Amino acid sequence: MPDMEKSDQVSLSSPTELRCITCGYDLRSLPTEESCPECGTPIELSLRGDLLSQSDPAWVARLARGQSVLVFGVRFCLICMVCAFAIPFLGFGLGFVFAFGFGFNIPSWVFSVLFLSFGGTLIVGALFATLGCALVTTQDPRDSLRESSSSNRNVARQALLAMYACVPASFVALLIPFVRTSPQIFPVIFFLSVGTCFTVALVATLGWLAVLAARIPDHDLRSRTMKSARFFRWAVPVLILTALIPPMLSATPPAAGGALIRPGVLSSVTGCVFLVVAAGILIGSFRMYKDLRTYRTAFRKCATEANTTNSEPPLTD
């Protein structure tokens, strides 16, 4: 086991680099028995490699807290996704039973209440997931002086911010006369902009988690996370596009002289693709949720280890 960890350290950090785990200061030219001139952390602690259990304890503890909040939020979102899938079927089933068995229909407000409560749950879940993401994607202090602005971690945070900015921005677009006069344009603007930012944030967060998985180290978890990222990268955009095509088709007047494909056929095809991709996303989300829980357990364990190994007093004679 110790040998395995050692080989990970070598592959993860270049031997010519030595950064302080607390502040990122370049420690290469300094004697290893001294402390970081910037923050006073013993250099010996920064020599242990890139493993999370050997990193800044405060930062790893924040990862563990963030992952708990993220798992909590994603669980809420998953419940909503399952309900969004189940309610139409449940509605048809119950409607059928009531209409033929009892001779009356379920009042429509029952469904309105159901949809509103699931909408509320989804918003709560999304807010918790965002907070969790914000905590999990905080910068490793060791990277503070060397991280690229296009790292997964930075991209994830910027895309999340952009996603929340797109909500009011889409409503501002309603002020444009062209958008106001054709109401079908608004959902296209809204879901394309929010959906694009969401996809980027999701894929970049998974990319960042994959980087952290290598520092747990858990290479199976890392490859599963990268597989999830590759799946969501195309599945979410396809879902959004197939959801938007039928309303867009109904908004455009039929082409004179006959189109290549009849709009009715095209919307049935997009409807089928939508259902298949939505089912795939539901399954993929359950897999991702299971992995997110594995990260939570691993981060908690690393946080405990980082706290015990890195808070040891420096070796002084």
Q: Among 18, 23, 77, 136, which residue sits at the site for Zn ion (rule: CB under 5 A)?
A: 23
Q: Among 18, 19, 22, 60, which residue sits at the site for Zn ion (rule: CB under 5 A)?
A: 22
Q: How far lies 222's CA from each of 166, 212, 213, 226, in Å?
A: 31, 8, 5, 6
How far is Cα 155 from Cα 150, in angstroms, rounded to an integer? 6
The DSSP annotation for 221-242 comes to: HHHHHHHHHHHHHHHHHHHHHH
Contact map string, positions 38 to 77, toward Zn ion, x by CB under 5 A: xx-x------------------------------------
Q: How many helices (H) and strands (E) does the chain have?
A: 9, 0
Nearest approach, Cβ of residue 221 and Zn ion (Å): 30
Q: How many CB atoms lie within 10 A of CB 251?
A: 12
Nearest approach, Cβ of residue 187 and Zn ion (Å): 50
How many amino acids of this chain bind Zn ion (CB under 5 A)? 8
Q: Which is nearer to Zn ion, 18 or 160 (CB)?
A: 18
Q: Which stretch binds Zn ion (CB under 5 A): 31-39, 82-90, 200-208, 308-316?
A: 31-39
Nearest approach, Cβ of residue 74 and Zn ion (Å): 34
Collapsed DSSP state (helix, strand, coil) of residue 35:
strand
Q: Which stretch binds Zn ion (CB under 5 A): 7-15, 30-38, 187-195, 235-243?
A: 30-38
Q: Which stretch binds Zn ion (CB under 5 A): 12-20, 99-107, 131-139, 265-273?
A: 12-20
Q: How far lies 166's CA from each of 134, 170, 180, 197, in Å?
A: 18, 6, 17, 8
Q: Which residues contact 235 (CB under 8 A, 6 or more apart)?
A: 277, 280, 281, 284
Residues numbered 101-140 forming contacts with Zn ion, rule: CB under 5 A: none
Q: Which residues contact 88 (CB under 8 A, 6 or more apart)?
A: none
Relative orientation angle of helices 57-97 and 263-310, to the nearest 10 degrees:
150
Q: Which stretch binds Zn ion (CB under 5 A): 23-31, 108-116, 256-264, 285-293?
A: 23-31
How far is Cα 172 from Cα 63, in angstroms, rounded to an integer? 36
Residues numbered 181-240 forming contacts with Zn ion, rule: CB under 5 A: none
Q: Among 8, 18, 19, 36, which residue sits at the site for Zn ion (rule: CB under 5 A)?
A: 36
Q: Which is nearer to Zn ion, 37 or 119 (CB)?
A: 37
Q: Is 145 in the site for Zn ion (CB under 5 A)?
A: no
Nearest approach, Cβ of residue 37 and Zn ion (Å): 8
Q: Among 8, 18, 19, 25, which residue sits at the site for Zn ion (rule: CB under 5 A)?
A: 25
How far is Cα 204 from Cα 218, in angstroms, rounded to an integer? 19
Query: What per-residue string of b and e applies to 219-239 under the rule 16 or more CB within 10 Å gives b?
Result: eebbebbebbbebbeebbbbb
- The angle formed by the CA atoms of residues 100, 104 and 108, to the nearest 5 degrees, is 120
Q: Which is nearer to Zn ion, 20 or 77 (CB)?
A: 20
Q: Which is nearer to Zn ion, 35 or 184 (CB)?
A: 35
Nearest approach, Cβ of residue 27 and Zn ion (Å): 8
Binding residues (CB under 5 A) for Zn ion: these are: 20, 22-23, 25, 36, 38-39, 41
